[in-house]
Amino acid sequence: MSSILLLTSSPRSDSLSTKIATELADKIKAQNPGKTIVHRNLAAAPLPHIDELFTAAIRTPVEARTPEQAEAVKVSDALVDELLAADTLVIGTGLINFNIYSSLKAWIDNVARAGRTFTYTETGPKGLATGKKAYIVLASGGVYSEGPAAPLNHAVPYLKSVLAFIGITDVETVYVEGLAFGPEAAEKAIGAAQARATELALAA
């Protein structure tokens, strides 16, 4: 059975990136009843940041790893398996300091694994997590999808680059932006994002 991997990363209980991303995952599932949703809340259950033991372990053949090294990659192996089992990714994040939450970056560091989600060839790196569709939901106080602040939006270009590197090139973005411009602007932004999510779900 195919799955939708829902990744939320905001530490805020009233997070709009989490709200819209969850709604989008639910809408995609409604259009595809055979799918299941696997929700990983990266803020509620933070992942370990990679350390020296981990980086040594992933460079060591499985059969040659020490018990400590084997233990160090257990979480990463499970995350990679979870990613490879999904055919759809829905990623929710706020824009913080012009990029993604560190909780989401920790997930990326755990799943970007040579030999598992990408490999090196004579013609350069090749992604192995292919055949998937991804959706990015980005919430921000300002407007970063276009206009003068757009160059400061490092979150979406970064996520698209990482996803492409591991083989996921079919990516759509839902912006929930301008939330700091007052209640009326926020309400309009939420409505636009929900409409965009519905549009994308119907096409899924």
Is residue 3 within 8 A of residue 88, CB to CB? The reply is: yes
- The answer to whether 15 is a known ligand-binding residue is yes
Is residue 138 within 8 A of residue 96, CB to CB? The reply is: no
Structure tokens at 176: 């929930």
Instruction: Please state, in angstroms and rounded to a whole number, the distance separating the CA atoms of residues 136 and 109.
Output: 18
Closest-CA residue to 159 (of 98, 85, 77) = 98
Find residue 135's DSSP bridge partners: 90, 172
32: number of Cβ within 10 Å: 15
- The answer to whether 10 is a known ligand-binding residue is yes
- The answer to whether 16 is a known ligand-binding residue is yes
Question: Which amino acids are annotated as binding site for FMN, given as ranges?
Answer: 10, 15-17
Binding-site positions: 10, 15-17
